[in-house]
Amino acid sequence: MKRNKLFFLLLTLFSFSAKSQFIINGPAIGGVTPAGARMYLCTEQPQTITVLLSEDGSESNTKSFQAFTTKEKFNTTIVDFSGLKADTKYFYSFLIGEKKDSIHGSFTTFPENGKRGNYTFVTGSCQETENMKVFDVIPKHNPRFMLHTGDFTYPDYQIAPDYSADYAKVAYSYRKRYDEKVMKEMLYSIPIDYVYDDNDYVGGNGGKYNKNDIRSNFKGKVEHKFIIDSFPPSWRRNVIKGYTEFFPGYTMADTTEGIYHSFTLGNAEFFFVDRCSAHEDPLAANFSYNAKKNKWSFAPIDSVKLFGDKQMQWLKSGLKNSTADWKFIVSGAPFNKALRKLIDKGMKIQKIQAKGYNGFHMATGFASYFAGFPKEQEDFLNFIKQENIKDVIVISGDTHHNVMDDGANAGLPEMNASGLSVTGTYLAYFLNLVGNGTMMYQMQDEVWNQGGNGLGNLNFKNAFGRVDIVENNYVTLSLIDEDNEVISSFRVYHSDYAGERK
């Protein structure tokens, strides 16, 4: 009996030392192509890491890739996998030094570029609360990957408004992202691509070197003012560098300008745009004040741009030259041109306040989206028209609610999926109340015509977007809540589609 006890004790000790967890953050997989993928991970100490990939999960017949975590990169690394087979599931495991890590998972490479098929992916933005139910639901949909459109945690307040002044804090912000409850395990086997939005960029706002805010005073004379502050260029450089070193992303087009980039999945091409890094002017630049009337007006200036000329040129030529059946623009900021209505109507009711919110909030909030830069937006939409570029769909975030439009209002079909883990998704519902109360606009008819949280329903749950590409026939855009119920769904048919329509 005693001998048996000793044997089991030794066996337990041996198993513990032979197989344990040395990876303390990650893995997270991204940058997937038909022949490769990338993986972020962080170890407790600087280590030599061997990643073993196998097609059947066995320990024989593996491909091995070696990498090193280093002190300079805060014990992180990004491992590049290459020479893989297209559209193939790979199981991975780790050797840290000589020892086996208990973490393992899998990912699937993309089909060959151009290959038509049925492909499902998910999207969403904004996670700041304890409620992580969406991440229980997302894996049930078996997506190829997740497109995260930003506010992937809120380092500007969860760490500090000046977090990006210190590169160690930028590294920490990524450790926090990969440590989100439930999502953390999801990232072991669902690849992700990501673009930061305003709150996971610098100082809580999306300008190149500017922090913007507004202050309103409703005691006595109603007053609104813009608070403009700048930050050092090194803060911006640190977030761009952090993205390239701590996120397993795709090759960037031009990191002096931001983190915009593209990739292809089968017959779809994705263009990720960066609404933060290139926007030079403060929010106030597009507003003017009449002191006599104590009234602000929205007065957009043509030279004030959100995405900037270089990025816009990249996007335009990418769309023009794309041979993909489907072209997705992925952005933190909504593209919907009908949001201009909410800027103009908000200015009309700038002196009316309810529950701490007023028309000036409404107008300035929407003025930081693409509709707040009408010349740049008009020029872009005209380009799409003139060049006869078809089958473009926009995926966006930032707003803290989930809504869609078929393009009749927005200009292009758009899914604004922005409520992965937020305190409330009431925005469209409340805006609709304001629109009805003032008889100025109708949200569902004039802004987001394909529904969403609070539009034709009272579903205010957290949600994500599901996108199904069906060959070169159609794309289904669906908003799915945290209890796996469909909030709203519609199809975008391909311009060449001649079949039956639902």
Tell me which residues touch Fe ion (CB under 5 A): 126, 151
CA–CA gap between residue 239 and residue 437 (Å, rounded): 43
Q: How far apart are CB 297 and Fe ion at their closest, in Å?
A: 28
At closest approach, how far in Å is the CB of 199 from Fe ion?
A: 5
Q: Identify the H or E element spanning 81.
A: strand 76-81
Strands, DSSP E only, in 332-418?
353-354, 357-358, 392-396, 402-405, 414-417
Give the pairing of strands 23-30 and 210-217: unpaired
Of residues 326 and 370, the one with the C-beta less far from Fe ion:
370
Sheet architecture: strand order including 76-81 = 23-30, 37-43, 76-81
Q: Which is nearer to Fe ion, 151 or 376 (CB)?
A: 151
Rank residues 268 and 362 by Cβ distance to Fe ion and give the closer one. 362
Helix (H) or strand (E) holding 469: strand 463-470
Comparing CA positions, the residue from 470, 457, 415, 332 lying closest to residue 122 is 415
**CA geometry: angle 216, 157, 153, nearest 5 deg:** 120
Indicate the residue among 65 and 152 with the shorter CB distance to Fe ion.
152
Q: Rounded to an integer, what distance in angstroms lies between the CA atom of residue 94 and that of residue 101? A: 5
Query: 3-state DSSP: the chain helix, strand, coil percent, rounded to 5?
Result: 25, 30, 40
The single-letter DSSP state of residue 454 is: T
Element (H, E) at 172: helix 167-177
Using alpha carbons, select from 73, 40, 74 the residue that is nearest to residue 247.
40
Q: Measured from the CB of residue 400, what is the shortest distance to Fe ion in angstroms?
A: 6
CB closer to Fe ion, 127 vs 216 = 127
Nearest approach in angstroms of CB 332 to Fe ion is 9
Max CA separation in the chain (angstroms): 95
Nearer to Fe ion, 151 or 193 (CB): 151
- Please, where are the H alpha helices in 65-151? 134-137
Supply the minimum distance, in Å, between the C-beta of residue 275 and Fe ion: 12
Q: Which is nearer to Fe ion, 150 or 413 (CB)?
A: 150
Distance, CA of 79 to CA of 345 (rounded, Å):
50
Which residue, 266 or 365, has its beta carbon nearer to Fe ion?
365
* Residue (101 or 414) nearer to Fe ion, CB: 414
Residues paired with 416 in a beta bridge? 396, 403
Mapped onto helix, strand or coil, the DSSP state of residue 350 is: coil
Residue ranges of alpha helices (H) inside 190-266 are 233-246
Closest approach of Fe ion to the CB of residue 362, in Å: 17
DSSP for residue 436? H
What's the closest the beta carbon of residue 397 comes to Fe ion, in angstroms?
Answer: 7
Q: How far is the CB of 274 from Fe ion (least distance, A)?
A: 16
Residue whose structure tokens are 């007053």? 223
In this complex, which beta carbon is closest to Fe ion, that of residue 126 or of residue 477? 126
Shortest Cβ 155–Fe ion spacing (Å): 12
CB distance 43 to 22 below 8 Å: yes
Task: Quote the least distance from Cβ 425 to Fe ion, whole Å.
Answer: 11
- Containing 360, the helix (H) or strand (E) segment is helix 359-367
* CA pseudo-torsion sign 134, 135, 139, 140: negative
**Minimum gap (Å) between residue 148 Cβ and Fe ion:** 12
The nearest distance, CB 364 to Fe ion, in angstroms, is 16
* Complex with Fe ion: residue 34 or 150, whichever CB lies closer: 150
Strands 118-124 and 37-43, bridge-based pairing: unpaired
**HSE-CB for 179 with a 13 A CA cutoff:** 10
Nearer to Fe ion, 43 or 153 (CB): 153
